[in-house]
Chain A
Amino acid sequence: MHIRIDIATTPQAVVIDQACRVLSAGGLLIFPTETTYGAGVDATNQAAVDKLLAYKSRREGKPLSIAVTDQAMAELYVEVSDSAKRIYERFLPGPVTVISKTKGTVAQGVASEYGTLGIRIPAYPLILEIVKAYGKPITSTSANGSGEKRPYTIQDILESLSEKQKGLLDLILDAGELPKNPPSTVIDTTLETPVIFRQGNIAIEGAADANSASYASHSEGETQEIAQRIMLKHWDDLKSKGIFIALHGSLGAGKTIFVKGIAQFLGIQETLTSPTYVYLQQYDFNRHEVTGQLHHLDLWRMENPNMIDRLGIEEMLGLRQVVAIEWPSLASDELQALIKKHGVTFIAVQIEEKGDTRHITCQTLS
């Protein structure tokens, strides 16, 4: 059973005291922010975080964010890079989530599989006061069970929850209907160029859009990490539509390395080797109980576009299917037609080498 407090009619000191009691007991609270209602637990308490992860079904590797009071507090939990500092100075507190590398000081499951963690400093004084009084960061993730509509009223939230999820709630801080502001802008500052993964109300100059981003890689490991991030961003697309990835770049640019990163993201254990000779290698994957296939193709040896029929690419497109094709330009018209017909998410990746750096440009085209 949860308690519901109307913050308009309750003295603020009482609200803060109640919130802190719930947090220190490992409880889950729903709180308002300048964007949507959020779900909060003590981000350093493993049992509390596990409870939140049970409430937010199907996180599947996506990071949670934490709310802190200021940059000094953020630095206890993440490495704040120079580009992150500039964003803190200009936009925070405000509706921007800044992703940095975790210092490993929060509970398991808060940071992403790749060691990244989002920081929020909400422009909502009550929440800043609660975090300040509590002295530890609280998770700040949208209060809906994953995938439901954005929660602007408590009713929105309760309607979307199962009885089991409702049973996990301990305290609701009700601020009535919130203005319909979009969720926060999410910017990843762990890459050389900051990349916007979700555009909210705040536009950040000099940052790349993840739907048309350019990443710099200095090693095979970095190329694989970039591939994993891109896959994480498109994980929901993969489940609902399927993904087609066209890989462009000269011989030895690192296209197969990129696909190795995709395989890692999907939890494929086998060594992924070049499909050049056999044209096609297929791997089963199981990531967070979602099963599907990775189809890794290489058209380099292809002499005629009819090969597309023989390889049966059309049958590979669909839900929970990743088709990654090297040298797709050899059959580009045929492939474009197939992508259109099946409505899969189309990501074009171009890898270019300049000196020791590889520039990976990634465009989501549909």
Chain B
Amino acid sequence: MPNFILAIDTSCDDTSASVVSGRSVFSNVVASQTELHKKFGGVFPTVAKQAHRENIEPVIALALKRAGITASEVAAVAVTQGPGLAPALEVGIEHAKKIAVANHVPLIPINHVEGHVLSVLAKPKPKLGGTRHMLRNHTTDSEVKLPALSVIVSGGHTEFILVRKVGEYERIGWTVDDAAGEALDKFGRMVDLGYPAGPLVEQFAKQGNCSAFRFPLPMTTTDNYLMSFSGLKTAARKKVEELTATAPLKTQQIYDLCASFQYSVFHAITYKLNKYLSSLKSKSLELQLFGVWLGGGVAANVTLRRMLRETIKPYGLELRVPYSKKLCSDNGAMIGVAAFGKFDHQEFKSVDDIGDVERIPRWEIGKAH
């Protein structure tokens, strides 16, 4: 019998649950997906009172059903403990505890950002039916060469994380204000693209010229790997105000603005990434990286992927990305993948100690609590 882990993430808007075994994803259900809208009827506002409470049971039931198992077959329950929105985290933790107790299995609390970091390690489930026996040698990390540098880019996070080992992390750089994805969303609203505008900005940028408008490169004078996006946001707003002072934006102007702004946001990231990689090289530290990993909602953006590849290529590094877009935005599968190593090393809370597990809304990856 393979060890199935039921993993739950309610860190922010989306309610998600997944079943994994090893690094193989057997199901990955996210409540903002259209299938659930249909299945459970009517409008499913991402932000609504009690949304997680209403979603969580059907989401878990669907995740189990798609994996073809019942709750009594899970070997452990994993749940996001933080960082995230406190009342949202609480719903996931409550339910995870309930299921763990009911089935006498351990609970594995997971850092949401660690989930994003390890999302690149997720694999699709084996193709053929009746393949459970194929999963026995699931835990080998032979193809995972470490240390690696993980780049997390999402609506809530923009971070460089050094992965020395699975489970051993060091934050190298982060944003001091807005997250990159947030900057893209906010820019999108300035040019009336609604919310969330990030994906539309990406689409429109393809039709635009990324050097049509110049935005400042932030944080160039700081001797660290910190990033900032709020100044870019202000610069973009001024530019939009200037352009719209006389006439509404023309279609091509919108495309050019999207391309230019998106480029500037990503350039702010690759600039600091390059700075870090070159410092590793010049100091000839003992640290040798074996790869760069990309995770987070904006990791689905192909322009970001291309710019990162161009940045790391001179260092002989390759970019590793999650196998599906669904693994980029918030999801339960990445929590399950992060939980698996801990399960093998018995880093979990047995049923008797479950009471200690409480939400940690600002849990920094690599820091103990």
- Residues of A with Cβ closer than 8 Å to B? 250-254, 256-257, 270-271, 273-274, 276-283, 300-304, 306-307, 309-312, 353
- Known contacts: A273-B177, A277-B12, A278-B12. The answer to whether A252 contacts B45 by CB under 8 A is no
CA distance A271 to B233 in the complex (A): 19
Main secondary structure of the interface of B (DSSP, over half): loop
Would A306 and B48 count as touching, CB distance under 8 A?
yes
Would B177 and A256 count as touching, CB distance under 8 A?
yes
CA distance A179 to B232 in the complex (A): 58
Would A310 and B175 count as touching, CB distance under 8 A?
no
B47 within 8 A of A: yes
CA distance A252 to B237 in the complex (A): 7
Would B176 and A301 count as touching, CB distance under 8 A?
no
Would A310 and B87 count as touching, CB distance under 8 A?
yes
Q: Which of A274, A278, A283, A303 interacts with B85 by CB under 8 Å?
A: A278
Would A310 and B156 count as touching, CB distance under 8 A?
no
Chain A residues in 8 Å Cβ range of B175: 273
Q: Which of B51, B186, B362 interacts with A282 by CB under 8 Å?
A: B362
Chain A residues in 8 Å Cβ range of B85: 278-280, 311
Q: Which of A254, A277, A304 interacts with B179 by CB under 8 Å?
A: A277
B123 within 8 A of A: no
Q: Which residue of A lies closest to B176 (CB)?
A: A271
CA distance A276 to B187 in the complex (A): 13
- Residues of B with Cβ closer than 8 Å to A? 11-12, 45-51, 83-87, 154-156, 174-179, 181-182, 186, 189-190, 195, 230, 233-237, 361-362
Would B230 and A252 count as touching, CB distance under 8 A?
yes
- Known contacts: A251-B237, A310-B87. The answer to whether A274 contacts B47 by CB under 8 A is no
Chain B residues in 8 Å Cβ range of A250: 237
Would A278 and B186 count as touching, CB distance under 8 A?
no
- Known contacts: A277-B155, A301-B195. The answer to whether A309 contacts B179 by CB under 8 A is no
Would A303 and B237 count as touching, CB distance under 8 A?
no
- Min CB distance, A302 to chain B, in Å? 6
- Min CB distance, B212 to chain A, in Å? 20
CB<8 Å pairs between A and B, sample of 14: A251-B186, A251-B233, A252-B230, A252-B233, A254-B234, A274-B178, A276-B179, A278-B11, A280-B86, A301-B47, A304-B45, A310-B87, A312-B87, A353-B234
Would A278 and B156 count as touching, CB distance under 8 A?
yes
Chain B residues in 8 Å Cβ range of A271: 174, 176
Would A310 and B179 count as touching, CB distance under 8 A?
no
Chain B residues in 8 Å Cβ range of A280: 85-86, 361
Additional A-B contacts beyond A251-B233, A274-B230, A303-B45 (4; CB < 8 A): A252-B230, A301-B47, A310-B48, A310-B51
- Min CB distance, A334 to chain B, in Å? 12
Chain A residues in 8 Å Cβ range of B176: 271, 273
CA distance A304 to B176 in the complex (A): 28
- Known contacts: A277-B182, A301-B47, A306-B48. The answer to whether A251 contacts B87 by CB under 8 A is no
